[in-house]
């Protein structure tokens, strides 16, 4: 990303490396063909674009069955007077200027064709108009609906996508609306630590993946070794297309319960309900449609709104824990009970391995699904203690609706160990390094460029796993050999 920004800023040199990079990126992003729902393969652009519009129009449309908006019996911790005052304070010109200057200059152009660089470069000319637009939106709870015209680009989640489910829709919002979202997010962020529970770690200042990975490693190790009572369960739950399925009624009810000011709620809901989406298909914009659910990946405020939605689930589990229904695990004698870990749409649940616990977990997830619109992915799975018999595992699978596995795989991109780390657990890290070094890019670089590529690759790729795991010496040796 840094190199791309430098290319835009300083100009593209007429080299074989640049031309190869451009052609490869264009080929990689082009959608050549797709399997349609009936199983047929199509390469006709007209057929594919028609199916894409139909698929995403249905994808961002609400279900006919509307569940209850509230699944809590008690009142959640709400925003205090200080937080409410911060959210409703008049927007200053300096606040808008800081927000604009903090944005990446050369992100993809939005529907209006302007990048943040334009507003930075010509702030003395256009800054006052942009500030008045943002200030009026906060004061009136709405603005010109043209600000909400959104283009959606499809990013492949796999190397060779063959269906529309293999793409991640990322929204390109207009700069003016993005400034409004970033102002709300910046005002809300300092207060999240005191509102969101300690077992949710995504987008909360002072919390990160490393702490969650370390706790998850300890929890999975305990579950595998637990030989007391009836054993333990650890469930890894993945939510299907999480951001795209959030019900707007549930989101609005959530903001009311957490004490958001009415004027802020109205502005956020206006931004959702009056938006329009146009897919970018191989560089061309398709006819727009109006969504009726979902949060936009690419909107700065969406992650924080999703955190509040997920806090509903965390509070429901804590409520069941306090009532004595949920039986959690304890990693050490006298230690704190651990019932759940949440990081965005990645959910870990821990309980005793009994049938009534499986029924309770399934019931809470079902209530949350009906209320929020989020759906449990069928790829979710669980592990159990070694003392849990196969017959009880079969019964638990029936209650939970997900399959049992001997190895949970990875969590937040880090493999969950069972015993001592093995070389096989880090094959993906070594494959990434070898793939990066063996790519076509290295063939077009001189010796100094290749040396820079080797150093940046070997030093950056393993770092994330090394934050919470001790890499075996054999893995370190193979990484050195790759360089």
380-400 confidence digits (pLDDT tens): 899 999 889 999 999 999 999
Q: CA 442, CA 457: separation in Å to the nearest integer? A: 12
> What is the per-residue pLDDT across 21-39, written as a single tens digit (0 to 9) for each?
666 667 777 888 899 988 8
| Residue bearing the bigger pLDDT, 18 or 378 | 378
Low-confidence winner among 2-16, 31-45, 249-263 (lowest mean pLDDT): 2-16
309: confidence class by pLDDT, cuts 50, 70, 90: very high
Residue-level pLDDT at 296? 92
Q: How many whole angstroms from its chain centre is CA 353?
A: 30
pLDDT at position 7, please? 46
pLDDT at 443: 63
CA gap 70, 47 in Å, rounded: 41
Query: Comparing 100-109, 236-245, 433-442, which segment has the lowest mean pLDDT?
Result: 433-442
Residue 222, pLDDT above cutoff 60: yes
Among 88-92, 137-141, 173-177, 408-412, the least confident range: 408-412
> Would you state the structure tokens that stand for residue 120, as one six-digit string?
């930075």
Name, in order, each residue with C-beta under 8 angstroms of 7's C-beta and a sequence gap of 6 or more: 18
More confident residue, 290 or 470: 290
Q: What is the rounded distance in angstroms from the CA atom of residue 264 to the CA atom of residue 250?
A: 16
Cβ atoms of 479 and 430 closer than 8 Å: yes
What is the percent of the chain where pLDDT is above 70? 89
CA atoms within 13 A on the CB side of 465: 23
Per-residue DSSP letter, 375: E
Residue 372 has pLDDT above 60, yes or no: yes
Domain 209-242+305-415, CATH among 1.20.58, 1.10.20, 3.30.70, 3.10.590? 3.30.70
Q: Which helix (H) or strand (E) holds 337?
A: strand 337-338
Region 250-273 average pLDDT: 95
Overall pTM > 0.85? yes
Residue 18 pLDDT exceeds 70: no
Check residue 427 and give its pLDDT. 81
Q: Which residue has the tokens 């063959």?
A: 162
pLDDT at position 64: 56
Average pLDDT, integer, range 426-441? 74
Domain ranges of the chain: 81-191+245-296, 209-242+305-415, 423-482
When the pLDDT of each residue in the chain is averaged and rounded to a whole number, the result is 86
Rounded-to-integer distance, Cα 222 and Cα 375, Å: 28
Q: How many Cβ atoms are within 10 Å of 347's Cβ, its own excluded?
A: 24
Given a cut of 70, whether residue 439 has pLDDT beyond it is no
**Residue 282: pLDDT over 70:** yes
Q: What percent of the chain is helix, strand and coil (3-state, nearest 5)? A: 50, 15, 35
Q: Which helix (H) or strand (E) holds 34?
A: strand 34-35
- CA dihedral of 9, 10, 11, 14, whole degrees rounded to 10: -140
* Residue that wins the pLDDT comparison between 172 and 421: 172
CB 463 within 8 A of CB 456: no
pLDDT at 418: 73
Q: Percent of the chain having pLDDT more than 90?
A: 56
For the ranges 83-97, 136-150, 203-217, the lowest mean pLDDT is seen at 203-217
pLDDT, position 11: 45
User: Maximum CA pair distance of the chain?
Assistant: 72
Question: Which pLDDT score is estimated for 9?
Answer: 45
Lowest model confidence (mean pLDDT) among 72-81, 160-169, 314-323, 340-349: 72-81
Pairing of strands 381-384, 375-376: unpaired
Which residue in this structure is represented by tokens 């293999």? 166
- In this structure, what token pair is assigned to residue 41? 């393969």
Burial class (CB in 10 A: 0-12, 13-18, 19+), 7: middle
- Reported as a pLDDT band with limits 50, 70 and 90, residue 367 is very high
């Amino acid at each position: 990303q840094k190199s791309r920004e430098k290319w835009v800023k300083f100009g593209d040199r007429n080299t074989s490396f640049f031309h190869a990079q451009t052609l490869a990126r264009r080929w990689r992003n082009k959608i050549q063909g797709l399997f349609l729902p009936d199983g047929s393969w199509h390469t006709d652009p007209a057929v594919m674009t028609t199916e894409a519009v139909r698929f995403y129009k249905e994808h961002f449309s609400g279900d006919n069955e509307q569940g209850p908006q509230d699944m809590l019996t008690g009142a959640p911790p709400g925003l205090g007077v200080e937080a409410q005052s911060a959210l409703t304070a008049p927007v200053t010109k300096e606040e808008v200027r800081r927000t604009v200057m903090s944005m990446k200059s050369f992100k993809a152009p939005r529907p209006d064709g302007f990048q943040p660089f334009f507003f930075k470069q010509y702030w003395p000319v256009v800054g006052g108009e942009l500030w008045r637009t943002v200030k009026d939106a906060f004061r009136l709870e709405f603005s010109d609906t043209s600000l909400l015209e959104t283009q959606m680009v499809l990013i492949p989640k796999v190397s060779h996508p063959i269906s529309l489910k293999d793409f991640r829709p990322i929204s390109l919002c207009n700069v003016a609306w993005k400034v409004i979202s970033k102002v709300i997010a910046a005002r809300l962020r300092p207060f999240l630590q005191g509102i969101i529970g300690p077992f949710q770690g995504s987008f909360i200042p002072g919390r990160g993946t490393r702490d969650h990975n370390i706790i998850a490693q300890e929890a999975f190790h305990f579950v595998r070794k637990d030989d007391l009572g009836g054993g333990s369960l650890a469930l890894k739950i993945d939510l299907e297309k999480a951001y795209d399925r959030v019900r707007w009624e549930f989101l609005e009810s959530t903001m009311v319960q957490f004490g958001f000011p009415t004027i802020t709620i109205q502005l956020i809901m206006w931004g959702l309900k009056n938006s329009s989406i146009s897919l970018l298909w191989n560089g061309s914009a398709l006819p727009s449609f109006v969504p009726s659910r979902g949060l936009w990946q690419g909107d700065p405020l969406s992650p924080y709104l999703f955190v509040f939605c997920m806090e509903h689930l965390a509070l429901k589990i804590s409520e069941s824990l306090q009532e004595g229904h949920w039986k959690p695990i304890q990693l050490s004698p006298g230690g704190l009970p651990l019932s759940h870990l949440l990081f965005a749409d990645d959910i870990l649940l821990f309980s005793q391995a009994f049938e009534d616990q499986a029924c309770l977990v399934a019931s809470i997830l079902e209530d949350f699904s009906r209320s929020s619109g989020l759906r449990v992915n069928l790829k979710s799975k669980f592990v159990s203690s070694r003392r849990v018999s196969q017959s009880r595992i079969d019964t638990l699978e029936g209650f939970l609706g997900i399959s049992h596995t001997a190895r949970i795989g990875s969590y937040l991109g880090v493999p969950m160990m069972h015993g001592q780390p093995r070389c096989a657990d880090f094959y993906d890290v070594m494959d990434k390094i070898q793939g990066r070094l063996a790519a076509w890019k290295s063939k077009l670089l001189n010796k100094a460029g290749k040396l820079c590529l080797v150093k940046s690759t070997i030093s950056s790729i393993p770092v994330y796993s090394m934050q919470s795991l001790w890499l075996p010496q054999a893995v370190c040796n193979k990484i050195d050999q790759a360089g």
